[in-house]
Chains A and B, each alone.
Chain A
């Protein structure tokens, strides 16, 4: 098979090693004995350096092994037990994360150590959304298939997986088959009522929300929200949705999933002058939305009395003049404690708001100030922080997942995201 990169002008690989699929992590386990990427090497062009070293190491290793064999190992290896299947731990370690490849697959990946293994994979067909429970040992995906591949009868369904075995323990078919097909993004699928209920955002292009009971495993009903988009959990049992009139519609649900009450805010989302991104990060029940021109809009969604709080700027006057703006996809994350992490790019202009960003700026919303600024080794589109202690900062940059220390900004390791051709939505485990 010809090299996939044979015609790239920048290809500097030696001839013998030129056959290499694009995007595959060169440190996958089968290359035992190859040198590992250590700290700070990520700044260099790894793709040419490492394969050359690997070639040398493999040649040396093969010669040595041949000499030692017969004498050292008088007995052959025993046969293996068959039909074994790996199981996941009951509590996933904090360095693991779900990576949603937006309609190709969802990977459970160990990003917290240099072994970097893929731990498991979940099916993802079209605009798949993921919810991971920490109240029950279950994982949920909302997905769409057609009975004959790309055509036929459409079925939308929630799959319920056991979090240890990844056995499919249940399925909830969604009435009407009208889920929003908008790629992997926040706001399509959300928990509420302490993860007893799930909310599915529908778009036909009329907007509505399907309420699902995850415990009884059945749909409860549908609530129309014309003129509004996406669902963000708010209050004890309810959701908020962003409306094209620049307002926030807040809906409270009763125990049966029906509407118990609603409020609508005054207009605050400046859809012409400076619209909000729909990506957000939460700290202490307050959800923070960056705007295209560099403000941050906090919305307190802790209680049923949802409050749009005063916004504040992420950029100084000079930075604004240099067109520093938030940029990317899943472009804001929180550390669950105190700080927000926002992907920022200079020289932004019309049409660039989804482009990868070169820096991460860290903000303290209590003081409304920036506390840190970090340059990325490669511009990134999505950012997430792992939970628990020893937090890591994950940045998806093209088909690389760069893992950083969020304090100093040093690159800890870099993983490949093979086959990623579109958005990545990350969900580190709790």
Chain B
């Protein structure tokens, strides 16, 4: 048993220090049989329930973050927060950043991809800019993959798989923010 524990720990460390890939699984809760789909850190969970989002088994580790504004509801460390409707990557809220700011030591890319998400509180469709934060350490904490409005990469501005770290000193992906740019007009798609 110890051998496997050591193996697992070594794997996770390697994973933690080197992973820069941002695309993650879409995890359909009902289909997970057998092994967990994301490697989980060997830390005490304090007995809380499993992550509330089927998309994110690691979400149970984070204490929730709320805006405090009833017009902007939801836990920003969970994949089902309304702004994350098309996010593919890790949430900066779990890395020392926030929904609108990058973690210390990283750089926000000015080149980004844009989605549109509906706010359940005010029913507006907001234009959301998914800027990547670059040049920091990524290891899949709070990883989400939602594809509302995402399309194959032939039209890159509609695709979330690209590492959108352009115009930054480093293109190493760290996490993604979700900035409101404005309200979307109703337009035919």
Contacts and interface: CB of A to CB of B under 8 A. Distances in A.
* Direct A/B contact, Cβ within 8 angstroms: yes
Interface of A: 1-2, 4-9, 17, 19-24, 30, 45-47, 102-104, 125-127, 144, 146, 149-152, 154, 180-183, 185, 203-205, 229-230, 242-244, 269, 271-272, 275-278, 292, 350-356, 378-379, 381, 398-400, 416, 418-419, 421-423
Given A7-B47, A151-B169, A399-B37, A421 B140 contact: yes
A269 B14 CA distance: 41
A84 B50 CA distance: 46
Nearest to A291: B152
B170 interface: yes
Interface of B: 1, 3-5, 7-9, 11-12, 14-15, 17-28, 31-45, 47-50, 60, 86, 111, 135-138, 140, 143, 145-156, 161-163, 165-166, 169-174, 189
Contacts of A47: 33-35
24 contacts: A7-B60, A9-B50, A19-B1, A19-B5, A21-B4, A103-B18, A126-B20, A126-B172, A150-B135, A150-B172, A151-B169, A181-B171, A269-B154, A278-B153, A350-B149, A352-B147, A353-B147, A353-B150, A356-B31, A398-B31, A398-B37, A418-B39, A421-B15, A421-B21
Contacts, number: 207
A7 B170 contact: no
Given A23-B39, A181-B165, A378-B31, A355 B50 contact: no
Contacts of A379: 28, 31
A103 B19 contact: yes
A241 to B, nearest CB: 9
B57 to A, nearest CB: 8
B135 A151 contact: yes
A22 B152 contact: no
Given A1-B5, A7-B60, A19-B1, 18 more contacts: A1-B42, A4-B42, A8-B36, A22-B36, A24-B35, A45-B34, A47-B33, A104-B19, A151-B172, A182-B163, A185-B161, A242-B154, A292-B152, A350-B149, A351-B149, A398-B25, A421-B15, A421-B38
A344 to B, nearest CB: 15
Nearest to A151: B170
B20 A351 contact: no
Nearest to B12: A419
A398 B28 CA distance: 10
Given A7-B50, A276-B152, A419-B11, A182 B161 contact: yes
Given A278-B152, A353-B147, A24 B31 contact: no
A350 B44 CA distance: 37
A416 B25 contact: no
A103 B173 CA distance: 12
A109 B147 CA distance: 31
B38 to A, nearest CB: 5
Nearest to B137: A150
Contacts of A204: 166
A127 B12 CA distance: 19
A21 B5 contact: yes
Contact of B154 (A1, A146, A278): A278
Nearest to A205: B166
Chain A CB count within 10 A is highest, among B33, B60, B140, for B33
B26 A183 contact: no
A399 B25 CA distance: 10
A205 B109 CA distance: 12
B39 A419 contact: yes
Pick the most buried of A8, A181, A351: most chain B CB atoms within 10 A of its CB. A181
Contact of B170 (A154, A180, A292): A154
Q: Which of A5, A154, A354, A381 has the most CB of B within 10 A?
A: A354
B28 A125 contact: no
Given A127-B163, A183-B23, A183-B161, A275 B35 contact: no
B7 A24 contact: yes
Contacts of B27: 398
B151 to A, nearest CB: 6
Given A19-B1, A125-B20, A4 B8 contact: yes
